[in-house]
A and B are shown apart, each in its own frame.
Chain A
Amino acid sequence: MSNEDLFEEPLRPVAHLRAKAAALLLFTLALVAGSVLYLLYARGVFEPTQALVLTADDSEGVAVGMDMTFSGFPIGRVRRIELAPEGNVRILIDVARRDAHWLRESSVFTLVRGIVGGTTIKAYSGMLADPPLPDGAVRPVLRGDATAEIPQLMATARELLGNLAALTAQDGSVAATAANAQALTERLKGPGGALGVLMGNEQDARKILATLDRTNALLARIDGMAAKADTQVFGPQGVLPGVQALLADTRASLRKVDAVLAEAQAIGANAREATTDLGALRAEVEGNLRKVDALLDDLNRKWPFARDPRDTELKLP
């Protein structure tokens, strides 16, 4: 038995053994490498993130790796939960940079623990025009716990029921109010009626009635006075016809004044024309005077009789 025979095994020979073995190894390697890469991608290793720190007073239900959602879409995941020196809880969240623009300065974060299902962290951005949330921002998280509110709700409901019971007791306010209402309706049905209820006693109600009667009589007298005043003002002997006649006279006088004024206007126009003529006349006289002046100068030059130039000079008057 040779050495080769010793290695021989009862196995059938395989064609292209080396190629098949290499292909199988490569396949397995590709499978494992692909799975690892996909897992890293799914864990968000290749995704750029920014940090967000939420502070809460209780980390119950919060787990590393859980999502933070915005409108139901996961935009971040919890990386770490730690206890701060102040005793509250710091929840470190990685927010994907491509989704970080949904978070603004005014964003609100809630930690809601439902009755069924796990705890969820939600972000709400009311005003998307606000400046974006910076990297590493620290925000408080509001706790909305459906089960935690039940004891408080029960306490409030109990208090409310106690108050209601006190109100509706035999000697309570509601019973007293009902008794008062009953007395009121009795009095309404009585002789004084609603007026008696309002005034409190019957004498005052009677006074009101007497006052009403006197007011009625006063109104009748005022009515008569008004009729008399009407006659005095508007009647045939009244004030108004006299005033009307006076007005007619005044109107006639005004017409006369108008005529006088028209005449005065005509006089004024004539005077204006006369002054225009006067201007022309004056210009003409001035012209004649200048001519006479020139003529005299000429005569004086031609006939120099007088020794004294003052005596020989002809003078105009």
Chain B
Amino acid sequence: MIASLAHPSWPGRLGRTAQRWALAWWRIVYLGAVVLVLVLSPSSYGRGLRGPLARHVVLNTAPILLGFTALAALVSLVLTRIVVVTALSYGLSRYALEMVVRVLVLELIPLTAALFVALRCTIPNGVQLVRLRDAGRLDALRRSGTDPLRAQVLPRVVAGVYASFTLAALSCVVALAMAYLGVYGFSLAGLPAYTRMFGQVFSPSITLVFVLKTLFSSLAVALIPMASALHAPREGPAGSELGGLARMFAVLLLIEIASLMGNYYR
């Protein structure tokens, strides 16, 4: 009897795991919905909340902006050179630039920006939130009549989304410029052809998929660490944080697969 309590049978274990799994996903979806409502309600931008929001946005974006942009520029330049030289040796240089733009701007850069923001901002923010909760500040906020979601979670989520979006946009622009420089050098002669190629790559459907992918990736990296932090067991094993990370990567993978299907599976 005692043994069966300590080691429950596998259908029971399976049921509890499925329950935990479903609950975790439900919390993410619920938090997303709540944050969306808070973002859209004007009272979230009141006098007392504007300061923390601005501070989170600045502190999450500004320090990593330059570093990530430089990294993206370097990677773009190296990849462009590799692809162009390889394409030239196969006599396919006509397609090299289009391939660089597709691979870098459409696929690699938004994903890298989201992962960078997750590692540098939103996961540390989640840890911070766990510490605040453990220190009892969230309960104190609740007792004082302030919604801790609005005071502590919303600025972090908005800052994460904003950082991810800005990083993706800036590094895409830098990657486009680097691809141009890598192929044509410091000359404006190739600009009409480059612009035309850019217009051909970014057809309306591909642009829509690109924007949606960037948006959902930034939402995933901003929301999931917060959801994991809010509902992490106080004295539980460290596996729950890793579970949140795994969920975030799974969502990013799903978004990437969906975008690839949207772009190329017709």
Chain A complexes with chain B: yes
A residues in contact (CB < 8 Å) with B = 1, 3, 6-7, 9-12, 14, 17-18, 20-21, 24-25, 27-28, 31-32, 34-35, 38-39, 41-44, 64-67, 74, 77, 117
* Given A42-B202, A65-B203, residue A18 in contact with residue B54 (CB < 8 A): yes
From 20 to 71 in chain B, residues with beta carbon under 8 angstroms from any chain A beta carbon are 48, 51-52, 54-59, 61-62
* Given A6-B151, A21-B54, residue A31 in contact with residue B59 (CB < 8 A): no
Closest 6 CB pairs of A and B: A42-B199, A21-B54, A43-B199, A42-B198, A42-B195, A28-B166
Q: Are B61 and A6 in contact (CB under 8 A)?
A: no
A43 to chain B, nearest CB (A): 5
A289 to chain B, nearest CB (A): 122
Tell me, yes or no, whether B172 is within 8 Å of chain A by CB. Answer: yes
Q: Are A24 and B62 in contact (CB under 8 A)?
A: yes
From 188 to 202 in chain B, residues with beta carbon under 8 angstroms from any chain A beta carbon are 195-196, 198-200, 202
Q: Are B128 and A10 in contact (CB under 8 A)?
A: yes
Residue from A7, A14, A64 within 8 A of B151 (CB atoms): A7
B171 to chain A, nearest CB (A): 10
* Given A7-B151, A9-B52, A21-B57, residue A65 in contact with residue B166 (CB < 8 A): no
A100 CA to B144 CA, complexed, in Å: 71
* Given A21-B57, A24-B58, A35-B173, residue A6 in contact with residue B198 (CB < 8 A): no
A34 CA to B174 CA, complexed, in Å: 13
* Given A42-B198, A74-B196, residue A9 in contact with residue B152 (CB < 8 A): yes
Tell me, yes or no, whether B119 is within 8 Å of chain A by CB. Answer: no
Residues in A with CB closer than 8 Å to B165 are: 28
A313 CA to B140 CA, complexed, in Å: 190
Q: What is the size, in residues, of chain B's interface with A at 8 Å between Cβ atoms? A: 37
Q: Are B169 and A31 in contact (CB under 8 A)?
A: yes
Residues in A with CB closer than 8 Å to B181 are: none
B residues in contact (CB < 8 Å) with A = 48, 51-52, 54-59, 61-62, 94, 128, 131-132, 137, 140-141, 144, 146, 151-152, 162, 165-166, 169-170, 172-173, 195-196, 198-200, 202-203, 207
Residues in B with CB closer than 8 Å to A117 are: 94
Residues in B with CB closer than 8 Å to A77 are: 200
Residues in A with CB closer than 8 Å to B52 are: 7, 9
A34 CA to B173 CA, complexed, in Å: 10
Residue from A14, A20, A24, A42 within 8 A of B166 (CB atoms): A24
Given contacts A7-B52, A38-B198, list 4 more A-B pairs with CB under 8 A: A17-B58, A35-B173, A42-B195, A67-B196
A66 CA to B146 CA, complexed, in Å: 57
Residues in A with CB closer than 8 Å to B200 are: 65-67, 77
* Given A10-B128, A20-B58, A20-B62, residue A1 in contact with residue B195 (CB < 8 A): no
Q: Which among B55, B61, B146, B203 has the greatest number of chain A C-beta atoms within 10 A? A: B55
A2 to chain B, nearest CB (A): 9
Q: Are B172 and A14 in contact (CB under 8 A)?
A: no
A34 CA to B170 CA, complexed, in Å: 11
Q: Are B58 and A31 in contact (CB under 8 A)?
A: no
Closest residue of A by beta carbon distance from B151:
A7
B163 to chain A, nearest CB (A): 10
Closest residue of B by beta carbon distance from A18:
B54
Q: Are B198 and A32 in contact (CB under 8 A)?
A: no
Residues in A with CB closer than 8 Å to B173 are: 31, 34-35
A11 CA to B198 CA, complexed, in Å: 42
Residues in B with CB closer than 8 Å to A34 are: 173
Residues in A with CB closer than 8 Å to B131 are: 10
Residue from A1, A11, A43, A74 within 8 A of B55 (CB atoms): A11
Closest residue of B by beta carbon distance from A41:
B195
Residue from A1, A24, A28, A39 within 8 A of B207 (CB atoms): A39
A74 CA to B202 CA, complexed, in Å: 17
A10 to chain B, nearest CB (A): 7
A198 to chain B, nearest CB (A): 65
Residues in A with CB closer than 8 Å to B132 are: 9
Q: Are A39 and B202 in contact (CB under 8 A)?
A: yes
Residue from A9, A35, A41 within 8 A of B172 (CB atoms): A35
Residues in A with CB closer than 8 Å to B162 are: 28
Residues in B with CB closer than 8 Å to A43 are: 199, 202
Residues in B with CB closer than 8 Å to A65 are: 199-200, 203
A-B contact pairs, 13 of them (CB 8 A): A6-B144, A9-B128, A14-B59, A17-B51, A20-B58, A21-B55, A24-B62, A24-B166, A38-B195, A39-B198, A39-B207, A42-B196, A42-B199
A35 CA to B109 CA, complexed, in Å: 15
Closest residue of A by beta carbon distance from B142:
A6
